[in-house]
Amino acid sequence: MNWTQTIFEVIDMRSFSNLWFWIALAVVWSSASHYVLGVPFDMITRARRHGGEAQQDLEDMVRINVNRILYIGQVSGLLLMGFVCFVLTALAILGFFYGVEFAQAVFLIALPMSFVGALSVRTAGRIAREAPEGEALHRRLIRHRQAVQFIGMASIFVTALWGMWKNLDRSFLFNTF
């Protein structure tokens, strides 16, 4: 037995039966819903409760991150979108046409995260145009967070269904009938 065979026996390389994949999926979605346009959600909550300096810090942080997101979108948005579409297409072909389970797993994380990225650019544009302050800014950020959480819940549900199907498909019991 060679060393690569030993590694692949110790570390299960099938993504949907690997605990690390599910931990990574949870971390990705909890981070995506915690950081609203790059602003930690606890900062939004603190600004809603206390106002004053916390509100000013929130508005400054939102302004900085909105400008950063819009700058990236203006400078390299088209190139970035083309690259993301290429990677997603390659993952979909490798995963669902050629049956590479790792590509399927990455695709099931990357596709919904690309929707979150597009939603973030859209929300950043609306904030830059409307320049909301105070409660209007809080509502906009919370609405964005709820949309990200909805995308995350749908993504986790679809990924769990697909992962259960792949695990059942490979199991001895399922293949005997």
98-141 pLDDT, tens per residue?
A: 988 889 999 999 999 999 999 999 999 999 998 888 889 999 99
- Number of Cβ atoms within 10 Å of the Cβ of 97: 9
Residue 37 is given by DSSP the state T
Q: Burial letters for 142-166: b for 16+ Cβ neighbours within 10 Å, e otherwise?
A: eebbebbeebbeebbeebeebbeeb
- pTM equals 0.82
66-110 pLDDT, tens per residue?
A: 999 999 999 998 999 999 999 999 999 999 999 888 899 999 999
Q: Where are the domains of the chain?
A: 52-166
Band (158; pLDDT cuts 50, 70, 90): very high
Q: Tell me the two tokens of residue 71.
A: 């700058």
